[in-house]
């Protein structure tokens, strides 16, 4: 018989204890957490017991029971029940059962871990636990597993456990409750309760933040000065939901929050307009590049306006300021010796008669063999490549094989700037709120070794290179575009250098999706460092992962996914879109937009949780107290609620300060959940019909609830600005609550005192019905394309396929016309050998 | 309530004269059996084991210390892994079971036990949803499943699952 265990694995505690207690002979082997001892299990399972017959046991409970049975102690029905209960749920409430137990020692083993966590509220449980923990066998087992490190010893085991998934209950609907609800009750101390009640009584700040912003916003002495940028969207692509959540929306939430916190904050962004894509489109549509940019800039602007993105300024890269600043940086780099000249081989399409920009070459990645690698970056492995390195390259426009021609170009000498860069990166990444993926990507870039990076291109539509030897060339878009942040600020205010050449006073936050990280963490900082003009470098780099659409990717060409302009076209309000996108913000890993999920979250969280609580609280004031907030007399229970709410508020602030936007949202929903529970338990609608203290109780509960609603409106502001204001309008809440509640570590005060008259109360949210959602999913699902593909795969009858293909082409034509594009079909993709 | 139907099915298999009355507790509607001899029994597997002992069929829980441990292990596996798993988990579970059942007739080896009954109950919706290719991919699980669903007295509340592809023409015709 052999027992396999791993260190720091709490499941091993019980089996080791069982061996100690029974004295059963068994070899014990210590292995790594990843060791797969049981041959038929895909995932490692430890502890595991190899039985004499050659069979394996991988259930810790089964192993314990076997050891005891071998020793002559069979387990009763009741003990079996405990084993199963403990697999399935942690018991904190069934203390009376302990009176029945004939205290079998081995039972204690199965309870060992969960009870590390409980708070000691249940005295009989605690007494029993202390008794067991003191047993020699338990102490010895604990020593073996934890090696004296206590709970820290379990860290490496716990980190390997998969994240909890939302489970499918067998015969009920998929559970709507969030993980926070299942956590169990927070413990609130007497101290916490009194502190919360004290804060509550303090009331609102005397001088509110002025609602109107004073432009231009400039750094001020003594304030926290924050400059926020979102990655500049490329002008002639209509942004899809993934672009929006990755960049402008994330930055917007943080910016709105920052202003509420009293930080002196400027949020700038704009369209990135230079480059061949625009050049080509202009040719296609028979306009000048400038005209194309003018047209699409407006489309972007209106989409972001609909999404309520509160830029302080939304500009463009095609300005004189851009040329001025870019050329200045260029000359400085040149004069400081950070530019190198070289002759470059470039791909030129003889058919199209031009040098091909990187995005117009497609081929096989030389590193990972991905067949659709683009000429500047491989979509699969993310490595930067030069277009000439691609295997089997093709011109994306005409599919001809391009030829290689030589041309003189300038390179930014990244290796020469490497030491300086690393020094700065060490400080920035360790002191700032960089997302993990940003740090990782940057690290792997540096590990691969920096190479000189070409900053010029043979094109027309771009910032001209001022150097006489390179007159016919323009700057490469990735050198030039980040400089857009500076030039856009320069259009906003001529004192732009107070933001951009002021690292001592300014903290810079860059928001982007992960594919933009290397340019913001390496290339651009190197340009600025090399220019040696005291430029402000990024302090906090916030990058998201990818948002997928249902099970697949957004794709304009296949008509898959929701694009910004289409979202405007549904009946779903902007705030609801914002809420859902932020709820599924792809932080640690890719996430997916799902129509069904959006409906579910709207109905369960917005309607049934948040909307329900706020509406009920306000309605009680209207119905039972003639529209005036009643007097509040805080009992212990109310103080406890204030403390709980205060804690959630504190967490919200801590998380938002670190740009953990998605996590912070959960705390808002927790508060309204507490609120709903508070109302359920206290039944003010019943108590109002009573007399004296009963009525008083109804008044207190109503008063507290409506104030919580007020707090929620403030916490919601960064996420759902319209709903947030609507709540305050309905409650006639003073604007000063907006500036008070998020100060410090959170200041939940009584904003609506007794006698305050509220306004008309109406529901905040609408239910999203299933048929509505189904219709929307169909509309945006690219279904016709899928249908054609499926038919072709099934080798359906040619006539059928042809008919469906005709439908598809027609839909594509309609789409093109609706978008103002030429309805001519793109040239067919040639089959690669 | 699925759990109650499973218990009723088990009672029929065991040939218990009088069906028990069960109540449920909690959101998840865990079955509860009042016990005249002591505190109530809570939980599907706990009650099932109790019924087996009441019907005097202890061999259904295993006939040796090892078998008994193996039976408990699979019962626990069914309740914890099967009843709350995601799509990704299903593939892993089928893969693991397929490997495990390669050289076994039943979960406990050569003897039919309660573990087979409950694993059959738990896998039913999953197997029902598999395409034929997938059933062929997990050939041992399919073989075991077909065997158990046809085992006398086991299938009561569940519909039969067809596991074999209906070949209209045998290969000789082409």
**Distance from the B136 Cα atom to the nearest Cα atom in chain A, whole angstroms:** 19
Query: Is A295 found in the same domain as A245?
Result: yes
Q: What is the pLDDT of residue A211?
A: 62
Residue of B nearest to A97 (CA): B39
Which pLDDT value is given to residue A308? 97
A717 compared with A21, residue with greater pLDDT: A717
A751 and A790 housed in the same domain? no
From the CA of A549, how many Å to the nearest CA of chain B?
18
The top-scoring range by mean pLDDT among A21-25, A27-31, A99-103 is A27-31
Read off the pLDDT band of A452 (50, 70, 90).
very high
Contact indicator for A342, A408 with CB cutoff of 8 Å? yes
The answer to whether residue A100 neighbours chain B at the CB level (below 8 Å) is yes
Per the structure, the complete domain to which residue A82 belongs is given by 2-96+127-157
For A80, the closest chain B residue by CA position comes to B46
| Interface check B38 vs A, CB under 8 A | yes
- Look at the alpha carbons of A644, A650, A654, A655 in this order and tell me if their dihedral is positive or negative: positive
Tell me the mean pLDDT in the region B34-39: 74
Q: Is the pLDDT of residue A135 over 50?
A: yes
Check residues A415 and A564 and name the one with the higher pLDDT: A415
Say how far apart CA A710 and CA A442 lie, in whole Å: 42
Q: Is residue A74 part of a domain?
A: yes
Q: In chain A, which residues have their Cβ closer than 8 Å to the Cβ of B100?
A: 40
Tell me, what DSSP letter sits at residue A825? P
Size of interface A-B (CB pairs under 8 A): 97
- A118 pLDDT tier (thresholds 50, 70, 90): very low
Please, which residues 162-181 of chain A have a Cβ atom closer than 8 Å to chain B? 165-172
Q: Which two tokens stand for residue A463?
A: 């910032």
Whether the complex's predicted ipTM surpasses the cut of 0.90: no
CB contact under 8 A, A70 and B96: no
Residue pair A175/A183 in contact by the 8 Å Cβ criterion: no
Pair (A367, A444) in one structural domain:
no
Contact A165 B89 (CB under 8 A): yes
Q: Compute CA A813 distance to the chain's CA centroid, rounded to the nearest angstrom.
A: 36
Domain assignment present for residue A599? The answer is no
Per-residue pLDDT band at A106 (split at 50, 70, 90)? very low
Q: With 90 as the cut, is the pLDDT of residue A660 above it? A: yes
Same structural domain, A486 and A622 = no
Please report the sign of the dihedral spanned by the C-alpha atoms of residue A86, residue A88, residue A93, residue A98: negative
A66, B65: Cβ pair inside 8 Å? yes
- Is the pLDDT higher at A184 or at A519? A519
Q: Which of B43, B66, B85 sits opposite A84 (nearest CB)?
A: B43
CATH of B2-149, one of 3.40.190.10, 1.20.120.1080, 3.40.50.300, 1.20.1050.10: 1.20.1050.10
Of A143-147, A382-386, A392-396, highest mean pLDDT: A392-396
**Residues A234, A131: one domain?**
no
**Residue that is last in its domain, among A500, A515, A544:** A544
Question: Which of A379, A355, A359 has its CA nearest to residue A367?
Answer: A379
Query: CA–CA distance from A208 to each of A560, A748, A759 (Å)?
Result: 46, 15, 22
Let me know if residue A563 belongs to a domain. no
Model confidence at A79: pLDDT above 80 = no
The residue of A44, A80, A98 whose CB has the most chain B CBs within 10 angstroms, and thus the best one to mutate to test that interface, is: A80
In this predicted structure, the answer to whether residue A24 has a pLDDT above a threshold of 90 is no
A165: nearest CA in chain B? B86
Put simply, the answer to whether B65 touches A39 (Cβ < 8 Å) is no
Per-position b or e across A297-331, b if 16+ CB within 10 A of its CB: bebbbebbeebbbbbbbbbbbbbebbbebbbebbe
Residues A254 and A307 in one domain: yes
CA distance to partner chain A, nearest, from residue B1 (Å) = 7
Query: Average pLDDT over chain A, rounded to whole?
Result: 84
The CA distance from A613 to the nearest CA of chain B, in Å, is: 22
Q: Is the pLDDT of residue A181 over 80?
A: no
For residue A380, the model assigns a pLDDT of 80
pLDDT band at A180 (very low <50, low <70, confident <90, very high): very low
What is the predicted pLDDT for the residue at A208? 61
Q: Are residues A686 and A793 in the same domain?
A: no
Instruction: Identify the CA nearest to A112 among candidates A124, A97, A99, A130.
Output: A130
Tell me, yes or no, if the pTM score tops 0.80: no
Judged against a pLDDT cut of 70, whether residue A822 lies above it is answered with no
pLDDT at res. A443: 93
CB contact under 8 A, B86 and A52: no
Q: Do B83 and A170 touch (CB under 8 A)?
A: yes
Q: Rounded to 5 degrees, what are φ and ψ at A45? A: -135, 115
- Residue B29 — very low, low, confident or very high, per pLDDT cuts 50/70/90? confident
The pLDDT tens digits for B146-161 are 999 999 889 888 888 8
Q: Please tell me if residue A184 touches chain B, with a CB cutoff of 8 Å.
A: no
Question: Do residues A361 and A402 lie in contact, with contact meaning Cβ atoms separated by under 8 Å?
Answer: yes
Task: Decide if A512 is inside a domain.
Answer: yes
Residue in chain A closest to B91 (alpha carbons) equals: A42
CA-based nearest distance A2→chain B, Å: 14
Contacts of A61 in chain B (CB under 8 A): 72-73, 76
Neighbours of A618 (CB within 10 A): 26
Contacting residues of A for B68, CB less than 8 Å apart? 65-66, 69
Q: Which of residues 38-57 of A touch B (CB under 8 A)?
A: 39-43, 51-53, 55, 57
Is it the case that residue A168 has pLDDT exceeding 60? no
Measure CB to CB from residue B38 to each of A57, A78, A87 and give the nearest one: A78
Rounded to an integer, what distance in angstroms lies between the CA atom of residue A523 and that of residue A510?
Answer: 14
Report whether A537 contacts A503 (CB < 8 A). Answer: yes
pLDDT of residue A779: 81
- CA nearest to B66 within chain A: A66
CB-CB under 8 Å, A81 with B42: yes
More confidently predicted of A829 and A454: A454
Identify the band that residue A166 occupies on the pLDDT scale cut at 50, 70 and 90. Answer: very low
* Residue B129 forms contact with A (CB below 8 Å): no
Out of A39, A62, A80, closest to residue B69 by CB: A62
Residue A183 has pLDDT above 70, yes or no: no
Q: Which residue has the tokens 């509640």?
A: A741
**How far is it, in rounded angstroms, from Cα A385 to Cα A383?**
6
- Tell me the residues of chain A between 56 and 95 that have a Cβ less than 8 Å away from chain B: 57-59, 61-63, 65-66, 69-70, 77-78, 80-81, 83-85, 87-88
Count of the separate structural domains present in chain A: 5
Rounded to an integer, the average pLDDT of B9-29 is: 85
Candidates B31, B38, B73, partner chain A, best to mutate (most A CBs within 10 A): B73
Are A579 and A546 in contact by the 8 Å Cβ rule? The answer is no
| Interchain pair A81, B84: CB under 8 A | no
Q: Picking from A148-162, A503-517, A768-782, B20-34, which range would have the lowest pLDDT averaged per residue?
A: A148-162
pLDDT, position A588: 84
Yes or no, beta carbons of A88 and B86 under 8 Å apart: no
Say what the pLDDT of residue B173 is.
Answer: 39
Residue numbers in A near B84 (CB within 8 A):
167-169
The pLDDT value recorded for residue A162 is 59
CA distances from A129 to A86, A138, A187 (A): 15, 11, 20
Is residue A170 situated within a structural domain? Answer: no
Q: How far is B14 from chain A (nearest CA, A)?
A: 18
Burial label for A519, CB within 10 Å (0-12, 13-18, 19+), is buried
Q: Which of B29, B65, B76 sits opposite A69 (nearest CB)?
A: B65
Most confident of A161-175, A182-196, A444-458, B18-32: A444-458
Q: Is residue A807 predicted with pLDDT exceeding 80?
A: no
The proportion of chain A whose per-residue pLDDT surpasses 70, expressed as a percent, equals 81
Residue that the structure tokens 């500076």 belong to: A486
- Within this chain, do residues A388 and A524 fall inside the same structural domain, yes or no? no
What proportion of chain B, given as a percentage, has pLDDT over 90? Answer: 40
A714 and A651 co-located in one domain: yes
CB-nearest to B95 from A42, A65, A171 is A42
In degrees, to the nearest 5, what angle opens at C-alpha A584 toward C-alphas A227 and A117?
100
- Angle, helices A693-716 vs A636-657, to 10°: value is 0
A656: CATH: 1.10.730.10
Q: Which residue has the tokens 């998605």?
A: A662
CB contact under 8 A, A85 and B68: no
pLDDT computed for residue A187 by the predictor = 77
* Confidence label for A213 from pLDDT (cuts 50, 70 and 90): confident
A112 Cβ neighbours under 8 A, 6+ residues apart: A10, A13, A14, A17, A138
Nearest to A168 among B28, B69, B84 (CB): B84
DSSP per-residue string spanning A148-164:
T-GGGGGHHHHHHSPPP
Q: Quote the minimal CA–CA distance from A645 to chain B in Å.
A: 26
Distance CA(B86)–CA(A474), nearest Å, equals 53
User: Residue B125: closest CA among chain A residues belongs to which residue?
Assistant: A170
Task: Find the residue in A nearest to B83 (Cα).
Answer: A170
Instruction: Give the nearest partner residue to B38 out of A39, A100, A171, using CB atoms.
Output: A100
Pick A8 or A90 by higher pLDDT: A8
pLDDT of residue A833: 32
Query: Given pLDDT bands bounded at 50, 70 and 90, which one contains residue A129?
Result: low
Segment A697-702 shows an average pLDDT of 95
Residue A106 lies in a domain: no
CB-based contact A433:A658 (threshold 8 Å): yes
Q: Tell me the C-alpha distance between A611 and A712, whole Å.
A: 11
Q: What percent of chain A has pLDDT over 90?
A: 51
How close B121 gets to chain A, by Cα (Å)?
12
A147 and A253 assigned to the same domain: no
Confidence of residue A109 (pLDDT cuts 50, 70, 90): very low
Touching check for B95 and chain A: CB below 8 Å?
A: yes
Residues of A in contact with B62 (CB under 8 A): none
Inter-chain touch A78–B39, beta carbons under 8 Å: yes
A406 domain residue, yes or no:
no
Least confident of A77-81, A155-159, A552-556: A77-81
Same-domain pairing of A692 and A729: yes
User: Cα angle at A437 between B89 and A250, to 5 degrees?
Assistant: 95
Q: Do B39 and B30 form a contact (C-beta atoms < 8 A)?
A: no
Do residue B46 and residue A81 have CB atoms under 8 angstroms apart?
yes
Whether B76 and A84 lie within 8 Å, measured CB to CB: yes
In a shared domain, residues A152 and A230: no
- CB contacts of B49 in chain A (<8 Å) are 77, 80
């Amino acid at each position: 018989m052999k027992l396999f265990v791993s260190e720091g694995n709490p499941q091993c505690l019980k089996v080791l204890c069982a061996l100690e207690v029974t004295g059963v002979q068994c070899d014990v082997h210590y292995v790594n957490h990843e060791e797969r001892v049981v041959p038929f299990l895909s995932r490692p399972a430890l502890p595991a017991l190899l039985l004499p017959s050659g069979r394996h046991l991988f259930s810790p409970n089964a192993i314990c029971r076997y050891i005891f049975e071998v020793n002559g102690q069979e387990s009763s029905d009741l003990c079996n029940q405990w084993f199963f209960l403990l697999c399935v749920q942690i018991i904190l409430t069934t203390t009376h059962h302990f009176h029945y137990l004939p205290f079998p020692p081995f039972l204690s083993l199965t309870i060992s871990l969960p009870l590390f966590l409980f708070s000691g509220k249940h005295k009989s449980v605690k007494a029993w636990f202390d008794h067991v923990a003191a047993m020699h066998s338990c102490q010895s087992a604990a020593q073996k597993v934890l090696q004296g490190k206590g709970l820290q010893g379990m860290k490496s085991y716990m980190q390997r456990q998969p994240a909890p998934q939302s489970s499918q209950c067998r015969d009920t609907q998929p559970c709507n409750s969030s993980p926070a609800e299942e956590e169990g009750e927070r413990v609130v101390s007497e101290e916490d309760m009194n502190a919360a009640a004290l804060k509550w009584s303090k009331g609102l700040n005397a001088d509110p933040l002025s609602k109107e912003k004073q432009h231009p916003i400039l750094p001020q002495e003594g304030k926290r000065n924050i400059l926020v940028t979102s990655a500049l969207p490329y002008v002639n692509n209509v942004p899809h939901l993934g672009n929006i959540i990755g960049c402008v929306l994330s930055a917007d939430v943080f910016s709105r929050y920052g202003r509420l916190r009293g930080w002196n904050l400027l949020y700038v962004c704009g369209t990135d307009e230079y480059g061949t894509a625009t050049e080509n489109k202009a040719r296609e549509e028979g306009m000048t590049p400038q005209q194309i940019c003018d047209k699409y800039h407006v489309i972007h602007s209106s989409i972001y306006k609909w999404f309520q993105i509160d830029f302080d300024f939304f500009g463009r890269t095609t300005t004189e300021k851009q040329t001025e600043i870019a050329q200045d940086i260029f000359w400085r780099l040149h004069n400081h010796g950070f530019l190198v000249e070289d002759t470059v081989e470039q791909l030129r399409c003889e058919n199209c008669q031009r040098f091909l920009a990187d995005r117009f070459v497609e081929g096989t990645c030389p590193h990972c063999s991905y067949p659709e690698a683009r000429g500047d970056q491989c979509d699969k492995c993310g490595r930067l490549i030069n277009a000439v390195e691609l295997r089997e390259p093709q011109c994306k426009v005409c599919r001809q094989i391009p030829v290689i021609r030589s041309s003189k170009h300038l390179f930014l000498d990244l290796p020469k700037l490497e030491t300086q860069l690393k020094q700065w990166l060490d400080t920035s990444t360790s002191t700032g709120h960089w997302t993990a993926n940003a740090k990782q990507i940057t690290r792997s870039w540096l590990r691969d070794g920096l190479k000189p990076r070409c900053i010029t291109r043979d094109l027309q539509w771009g910032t001209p290179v001022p150097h006489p030897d390179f007159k016919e060339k323009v700057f490469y878009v990735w050198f030039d575009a980040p400089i857009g942040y500076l030039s856009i600020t320069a259009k906003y205010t001529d004192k732009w250098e107070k933001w951009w050449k002021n690292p001592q006073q300014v903290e810079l936050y860059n928001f982007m999706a992960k594919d933009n990280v290397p340019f913001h963490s390496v290339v651009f900082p190197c340009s600025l460092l090399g220019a040696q003009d005291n430029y402000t470098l990024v302090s906090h780099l916030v990058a998201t992962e990818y948002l997928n659409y249902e099970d697949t990717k957004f794709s304009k060409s296949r008509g898959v996914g929701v694009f910004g302009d289409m979202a405007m076209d549904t009946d779903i309000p902007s705030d609801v879109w914002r809420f859902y996108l932020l709820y599924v913000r792809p932080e640690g890993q890719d996430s997916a937009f799902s129509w069904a999920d959006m409906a579910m979250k709207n109905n369960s969280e917005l309607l049934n949780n948040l909307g329900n609580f706020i509406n009920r609280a306000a309605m009680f004031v209207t119905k039972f107290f003639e529209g005036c907030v009643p007097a509040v007399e805080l009992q212990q229970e109310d103080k406890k609620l204030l403390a709980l709410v205060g804690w959630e508020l504190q967490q919200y602030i801590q998380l938002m300060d670190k740009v953990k936007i998605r996590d912070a949202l959960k705390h808002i929903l927790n508060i309204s959940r507490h609120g709903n529970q508070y109302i359920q338990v206290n039944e003010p609608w019943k108590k109002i019909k009573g007399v004296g203290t009963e009525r008083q109780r109804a008044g207190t509960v109503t008063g507290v609830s409506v104030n919580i609603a007020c707090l929620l409106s403030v916490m919601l502001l960064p996420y759902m600005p319209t709903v947030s204001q609507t709540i305050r309008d309905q409650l006639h809440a003073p604007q000063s609550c907006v500036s008070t509640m998020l100060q410090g570590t959170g200041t939940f005060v009584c904003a609506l005192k007794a006698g305050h008259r509220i306004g008309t109360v109406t529901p905040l949210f609408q239910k999203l019905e299933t048929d509505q959602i189904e219709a929307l999913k169909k509309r945006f699902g690219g279904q016709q394309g899928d249908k054609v593909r499926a038919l072709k795969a099934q080798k359906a009858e040619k006539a059928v396929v042809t008919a469906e293909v005709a439908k598809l082409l027609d839909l594509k034509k309609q789409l093109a016309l609706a978008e103002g594009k030429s309805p001519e079909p793109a040239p067919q993709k040639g089959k690669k050998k | 309530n699925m759990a109650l139907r499973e218990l009723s099915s088990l009672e029929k298999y065991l040939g218990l004269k009088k069906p028990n009355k069960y109540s449920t507790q909690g959101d998840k509607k865990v079955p509860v059996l009042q016990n005249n001899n002591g505190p109530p029994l809570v939980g599907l597997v706990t009650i099932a084991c109790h019924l087996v002992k009441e019907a005097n069929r202890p061999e259904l829980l295993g006939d040796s210390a090892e078998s008994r441990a193996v039976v408990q292990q699979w019962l626990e596996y069914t309740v914890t892994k099967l009843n709350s798993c995601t799509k990704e988990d299903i593939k892993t579970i089928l893969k693991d079971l397929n490997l495990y059942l390669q050289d076994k007739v039943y979960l406990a080896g050569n003897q039919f036990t309660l573990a087979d009954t409950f694993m059959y109950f738990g896998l039913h919706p999953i197997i029902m949803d598999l395409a034929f290719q997938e059933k062929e991919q997990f050939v041992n699980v399919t073989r075991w499943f077909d065997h158990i669903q046809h085992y006398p007295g086991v299938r009561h509340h569940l519909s039969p699952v067809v596991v074999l592809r209906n070949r209209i023409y045998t290969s000789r015709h082409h």
